[in-house]
Structure formats: structure tokens, C-alpha cells
Amino acid sequence: MGISPDTEAVRAEAPGIPGAASGSLNAPRSFREILSGLEAPFLLAPLAGFSDSAFRFICAAHGASLCYTEMLSAKGLCYGSRGSEAILKYREGEAPLGIQLFGHEPEFIEKAAGMLRELPNVLIDINMGCPVPKVVKNGEGSALLKNPKLAAECVRAAVRGAGKPVTVKMRTGIGPEPFDPAEFAALMEEAGASAVCVHGRTREQYYSGKADWDAIRRVKQAVSVPVIGNGDVFSAEDGMRMLEYTGCDAVMAGRGAMGDPWLFDELRAAWRGKPLPKRPEPGDIIGTVRVHYGLLADDKGEYTALREMRGHASFYTKGIRGSAELRRALNTASSAGEFFSVLEKLGR
Ligand SMILES: Cc1cc2nc3c(=O)[nH]c(=O)nc-3n(C[C@H](O)[C@H](O)[C@H](O)COP(=O)(O)O)c2cc1C
């Protein structure tokens, strides 16, 4: 699809994003080796509907050292679904990539991981946390927590297929019934997981309540592979506290990065003991939204880019004076030109 004059104009005015991605990693053997090659231990979470190539590029430019794709069906990939191709889109300048697969059939997971074997610069992650009923009913996502034997088989299958590090992203349980995340994580390690990412909530909690960082700490004490802590990191202070409190090796941010890639600049600064950079001004936000839109338009065409940008823009503009009214206008803008002329009013 061609790029309209509207989009060209939008892009010409964009100031661009300073900074470079963290670079590539050649055939790392373990997640620990990946970590040792990263400039800082801050990762972008897999976010369905958000962590596509365009957003990952922006987060990498702001300091995310490793970014995860949206979750991708292992079976869908094996059958060549069109959605898979879009999710696997990767551009120069992105940070090293974690491709997240979901599924419950070891044979499909092995085959899908095998299809990703030759891709440089990636690891494979297995989703054991998705709480969505459609996924859980299929025995996938967080349902795997209930079936450690099958979960371990899925990890072994991914390791056989991938020829590169395989990580597991899990929750702390399903519901109120007893579940020991440390025991589960140790089983995944035994099956060959190269790192375990723990989102400190149960399936039943979805995203409510406070993430249980004690559970992350217990997992860290129970396994010898690196542990990635996840849940409720919205500021540099949160990230540093999570590292210290749980002893985890890396911190993954999800919702905190949506509309706020500057979070990664702040995390890096805090980690290096430097003063935190100033929060972005409306002009910085508008510039980043322009770049983000341009990348999306390149990847998905202008029609889809504009629609997806509305969702991103509602996060980019959150909390700014007068932005609720502005968001309503952004949601009805029918062209990129109209969208950006509305956005120019941000903060005025
Ligand atoms: C919009 C959205 C989409 C998500 N998609 C995925 C996904 O595809 N795979 C996954 O493992 N987790 C997914 N998650 C969960 C996040 O990766 C993360 O575990 C969760 O948001 C907790 O981290 P946070 O408190 O930093 O947001 C998603 C969360 C949100 C809000």
C-alpha cells in the first residue's frame, strides 16, 4: 500500500528518535549469555495488540534491551496463518527479540520453534500465563500451570525445535487453589527452560490487585536459571525496587511502557545511578507519535495505522491536561492529517 501525502507530511515533520537499539546477539546459548550482552536488564513485555515491530523499535530506541513479540499461535505458524507473518515482522534497529509462542501440543511447538531456528537474534518464549478464556479452554496459556507434565513437554519440544534459548512466562497460579510457583518453575528449568519470567499474579486475578513480588522472590531462590520479574513496574523506582526486593535478574515492563517508552530511559538512568531524565513535554510526545504512526503505516498501511494509533495515542496522552476531550477528537479523525492537527493541541 502506498503512503499518502498526509503521511509523508507527518513524517517530514517528525524529529526522529535519538538513540540506537541495543544491538544484535549471535547465536546465544543461554538466556544468561543474552543478559550479559545487554546494556541494562530492562525488557518490554509481550503485549498482544501493542508489542509489534513499530512499538518495539520505539521502546528499543528508549532503552528496552530485549523486546517480546505479541503471542503467536504455534499451530497457526505451522499452518502459515497470515497473522503469524505480521507478528513476526522485525525491522533493523530493534532490540534483540523474544518470540512468544502459545500452544499445548508439543509437536506443533517443536515444529513452530524449528521454523524460527534460523532467525538471528532471537529467543523463544512459551506463554504459560495468558488468562483469556478462549486460550485457557484450549489447555494453553495459564492452563498449562495446571498440567506441569505437559508444560514440561512443551518446553522440551521447544528446546528440540529451536536450537536457541527457550524461556517460560508464567503466572503465580490459577486461582485460590494451592499452587507452588517455585516448584513449577524448577520443573520448567529441569525441562530445559533457559530463564523463567514470573508475572506476580494468578490467572484469576488477570491484572487486578497488587503483583506478588514475594512469589517472584521465592522462584528466584528455587531455580538457578535467571528469573525475569514482571508485574506493576510503572516507574524507575518500581524497577529498582523489584530488582532489589526479589533478587530477579531482569525486569519486564508491560502496561507501564504503553504510551510511555520513556520509562526505559528512566529505568536505565536509575540503574546507572544517574539523575532521571525529565519527563517528556507535549512536543516530545507528539514527535514520538508521528514516528510511531509512520512505522505503523509502513508495516500495516495507513488505514490500519490510523486505527491502531488511536489506541496508542490514548496511552501517550494519558494524564495530560485537557487530553480527555482531545482523545475523543482523535478517535473520530478520518485521516492522518486530521489526527495530527488535533494532536498538535496537546498540552495547550
Ligand atoms: C494489552 C495487553 C496484552 C498482553 N498480551 C500478552 C501476551 O501476548 N503474552 C503474554 O505473555 N502476556 C501478555 N500480557 C501480559 C503482560 O505481558 C504482563 O505480564 C502483564 O501486563 C503484567 O505486567 P505489567 O504490570 O508490567 O503490565 C498482556 C498484557 C496487556 C495489558
pLDDT digits (tens, 9 = 90+) for 187-231: 999 999 999 999 999 999 999 999 999 999 999 999 999 999 999
Q: What is the pLDDT of residue 16?
A: 39
Atom from ligand 1 closest to the CA of residue 256: 26
Average pLDDT on 21-39 reads: 80
pLDDT band of 74, cuts 50, 70, 90: very high
The rounded distance, in Å, linking the Cα atoms of 98 and 195 is 12
Q: Hey, whose CA ends up nearest to atom 31 of ligand 1?
A: 255
Q: What is the pLDDT of residue 38?
A: 95
pTM over 0.85: yes
pLDDT at 58 over 50: yes
In this structure, what are the phi and psi dihedrals at residue 316, rounded to the nearest 5 degrees? -60, -30
Average pLDDT on 112-121 reads: 90
Residue 99 in contact with residue 130, Cβ under 8 Å? no
Atom from ligand 1 closest to the CA of residue 197: 19
How far, in whole angstroms, is CA 46 from its chain's centroid? Answer: 3
The rounded distance, in Å, linking the Cα atoms of 218 and 5 is 55
The rounded distance, in Å, linking the Cα atoms of 123 and 120 is 9
The CATH number assigned to the domain with range 17-271 reads 3.20.20.70
- Higher pLDDT among residues 120 and 192, named by residue: 192
Does 130 qualify as catalytic in the annotation?
yes
Tell how far the Cα of 2 is from the centroid of ligand 1, in angstroms: 33
Tell how far the Cα of 1 is from the centroid of ligand 1, in angstroms: 31
pLDDT band of 12, cuts 50, 70, 90: very low
Q: What is the torsion angle, in degrees rounded to the nearest 10, for the CA atoms of residue 241, residue 243, residue 246 and residue 247?
A: -140
Residues 255-283 pLDDT 10s: 999 999 999 999 999 999 999 999 999 99
Residue 295 in contact with residue 53, Cβ under 8 Å? yes
Q: What is the pLDDT of residue 21?
A: 45
- The cell 521502546 sits on which residue? 59
Pocket lining: 228 vs ligand 1, CB cutoff 6 Å? no
**Average pLDDT over the chain, rounded to whole?**
92
Q: What is the pLDDT of residue 1?
A: 35
Closest CA to 67 of 24, 119, 110: 24
Ligand 1 pocket test: which of 126, 169, 199 has the largest number of ligand atoms within 8 Å of its C-beta? 199
In Å, how far are 54, 59, 62, 174 from 186, measured between CA atoms?
35, 31, 33, 17
Q: What is the pLDDT of residue 13?
A: 44
User: What stretch(es) of the chain map to CATH 1.10.1200?
Assistant: 282-343
> 282-343: which CATH number, 1.10.1740, 1.10.287, 1.10.30, 1.10.1200?
1.10.1200
User: What stretch(es) of the chain map to CATH 3.20.20.70?
Assistant: 17-271
Q: Is 308 helix (H, G, I), strand (E, B) or coil?
A: helix
- The cell 526505559 sits on which residue? 264
